[in-house]
Structure 1
């Protein structure tokens, strides 16, 4: 029986093997095999259980906070359920869109997980080499800018590229924001690229996202309180539209395949429902613990208002009246608006 060789499968397998090797050599699970940490965790659990048996004062509302594990579940639902199902809105490419969104999301998760660690480590190695003659600790030098003072201080505390990467739950969550940016870009490319082209775009998109996030937030100190505004939503949309301009044919809006159908809309609205449920967690993860309650509340109110008013205004703007697509648009617009 002849073996069918597909360029996309071969390339994907090669990339996957390289990523597996990179993770196995360059990373380790933080706390794995550390008996002291395990004993400390067990003792903390025993102390907590003992405290629960005694009456304790109720904590203030701002003290409640979801642990990273809960955020990871919500982010998985948002990206791999919500966004992947939302991509099925086109009448002709729904099945392929769902499968490719899932596959490309997994690739972006792996690639972003490494790049979000490598870029700061490489920058740290550069800083250590640049300021090695100055010595630590660095004080505030009035003769140089505050920005350079901060870089010198960072060179004393950051980890260099020679160190192994300690992977935590939070690192996977941060990488999932890169997955969201990639899937947003993919939404502008449905039906326009083949799988091999899409894989190349995902690799480039993930690298650009990680570089943009590092430059805007980590290096220049920009404020993106929800971690999802200009580093995820705006970036993903701009990257996807740029790629779409390059690969689109003549008058793509007149293509008959650029339209939904009844069955595909059913799956897409299901994805919007998952996004509706998990959007508050998506927006509030990067917020300080004491502010997460307010970010989640504002996002939830924004989602409710977005659904109502998108449906109401569609009745006045569109001759055919409101449809389920307007609810989907309302959820997406309101969630992004809540991120501001």
Structure 2
């Protein structure tokens, strides 16, 4: 099914090689170990080996890393013919983004003698930035080429670092779990790009923009990994001691309450009372997003449960009623519904943070929310850059299809025959199978 336009034989290698060579050169010139990683600096200090930040931060880093590469990757495998691309492109752009994020965040958050110092905390922060890129990836899932995604990652990481600098350094906001810096920014960045890349003839691929039984099961793997590790995500870079302990606890209860309200709203909004797997896969995670900003504050378990409960309700309503409006009225084709999982719960998290903070901090939060809007025009321009016909994007009739960019086992001319066989053998009623035989 590959044509001249979507052939990645030269486009992808050239892009990957150029970007990685640039990164290697920049790392060689600008990056060095921090004081807890450098052998000479560490051993010249008088302390116990176990005081090294590695022993405090690395378990959280592992959890966040699993979320980035397994959680986000498998969450997007719900599309019936796009599993390779969901996991594979997630892997590709995450590997690029974490390297570029190390440089951009180091540049904006402080150089030390002209060098960017790296250690376990910078690894966590780079993964946070990568998470924002992967949120945006969900909005354009199935409609973009890997080259387009790499270009998007380069621009988004840069703008993420700028936005993070404005919020955390200039305005002094507290956003440990990234409700504003990661989720809100990533969601609305992705929505803006999806709006510019709007495809009026996407209905030609509508039959592929859906799930089958096994693809939804794979997506639930991603959901469960994200759900289990979200307390680590929100608490990974908070201060040691009660702050970190409290953040994990608040997130834990928020997610639990969110799951119950998600199941309730999913059944309630269906005319036949049946649960919708889309709601369970996504809205059940909204409590982790909504608890991100206020997680380290004295939100209390009671308050955390209220936050999660409301986040689940808002997210399900968004999937059920708002997503169709965004597509039909605003022409935003949000494949994964990132507005419902990350956008609205992220805004809710910022509001919860403002409410739980002091009056002075509330003013900072309000300014912080506005700072996201400053970048909209730049993001809009990026969308037009990605729309140029040089990146090998799939045609309207070829979206949500692995075989455009991947060698698919057993595939001679697309997935059509293969998928028909699977659906017939696995899901046909016994009497229908006898007729087929």
TM-score, structure 1 as length reference: 0.76
Q: Deviations over 1:86-138 (max 9, x none)?
A: 111112222111100011011110111100011234xxxxxxxxxxxxxxxxx
Q: Is the 8 A contact 2:139 2:191 kept in 1?
A: yes
Change (3 A) 1:25 1:79: same
Q: Deviations over 1:243-271 (max 9, x none)?
A: 01111212757922222221211111001
Q: Is the 8 A contact 1:252 1:258 kept in 2?
A: no
Taking the TM superposition and a 5 Å limit, the aligned residue runs for 1:119-130 are 119-121=108-110
Q: Deviations over 1:221-250 (max 9, x none)?
A: 2232x2411100000000000101111212
- What is the alpha-carbon distance in structure 1 between the residues aligned to residue 117 and residue 24 of structure 2? 16
Displacement, 1:16? 0.6
Displacement, 1:212? 0.5
Aligned residue pair count: 280
Q: Runs of at least 4 residues of structure 1 off by over 6 A?
A: none
Q: Secondary structure at the match of 2:207?
A: coil
Change (3 A) 1:252 1:310: farther
Does the alignment pair 1:212 with 2:163? yes
Counterpart in 1 of 2:265? 313
**Larger deviation: 30-39 or 65-74?**
30-39
- What is the alpha-carbon distance in structure 2 between the residues aligned to residue 35 and residue 188 of structure 1? 46
- What is the alpha-carbon distance in structure 1 between the residues aligned to residue 39 and residue 219 of structure 2? 45
- What is the alpha-carbon distance in structure 1 between the residues aligned to residue 38 and residue 184 of structure 2? 41
Change (3 A) 1:330 1:222: same
Taking the TM superposition and a 5 Å limit, the aligned residue runs for 1:185-224 are 185-224=136-175
Give 1:18's match in structure 2, choosing from 22, 43, 51: 22
Give 2:252's match in structure 1, choosing from 297, 300, 303: 300
Q: Deviations over 1:41-69 (max 9, x none)?
A: 7x6249x9xxxxxxxxxxxxxxxx97111
Counterpart in 2 of 1:271? 222
- What is the alpha-carbon distance in structure 1 between the residues aligned to residue 106 and residue 49 of structure 2? 31
- What is the alpha-carbon distance in structure 1 between the residues aligned to residue 34 and residue 173 of structure 2? 28
Counterpart in 1 of 2:419? none
Q: Secondary structure at the match of 1:287?
A: coil
Q: Is the 8 A contact 2:262 2:279 kept in 1?
A: yes
Q: Is the 8 A contact 1:303 1:330 kept in 2?
A: no
Counterpart in 2 of 1:96? 85
Q: Secondary structure at the match of 2:48?
A: helix
Q: Is the 8 A contact 2:57 2:121 kept in 1?
A: yes
TM-score, structure 2 as length reference: 0.60
Does the alignment pair 1:37 with 2:42? yes
Structure 2: runs of 5+ lacking an equivalent: 1-7, 293-348, 350-437
- What is the alpha-carbon distance in structure 2 between the residues aligned to residue 232 and residue 252 of structure 1? 29
Counterpart in 2 of 1:234? 184
Q: Is the 8 A contact 2:78 2:219 kept in 1?
A: yes
Q: Deviations over 1:174-218 (max 9, x none)?
A: 111111000000000011111111111111111111111011111
Q: Deviations over 1:290-315 (max 9, x none)?
A: 22222211211111122222112211
Counterpart in 2 of 1:327? 280
